[in-house]
Amino acid sequence: MWLDFQDERERQLVLLALARLAVERPGAEDALLKIAQQLQGETMFREYQRLKRIEAYTGPRNDG
């Protein structure tokens, strides 16, 4: 793999950042999805993307 993550959390953080960028910049979604696929994270990318779209519509959650 072209990126060497120290642990799974780092990979998930990158996928979350890609998904957030895809929501903020819809024109880049295809390119960002390809990166997520290379990280074997398409499902996680799509789920994060879905959650970020919900958050963009409803506003961030405040659990505390």
Residue 29 lies in a domain: yes
Q: Amino acid identity, residue 46?
A: R
pTM for the predicted model, two decimal places:
0.80
Number of domains in the chain: 1
Q: Amino acid identity, residue 12?
A: Q
CA 8 to CA 21: how far, in whole Å?
Answer: 20
Residue 2 lies in a domain: no
Residue 5 lies in a domain: no
For 15-33, write each residue's pLDDT tens digit.
999 999 999 999 999 999 9
> Dihedral of CA 59/60/61/64: which sign?
negative
Residue span of the structural domain in which 42 resides: 15-56
Are the CB atoms for 35 and 18 separated by under 8 Å? yes
Half-sphere exposure of 49 (CA within 13 A, CB side): 21
Q: Can you list the residues of the chain whose pLDDT is less than 50?
A: none
| Residue 16 CB neighbour total at 10 angstroms | 18
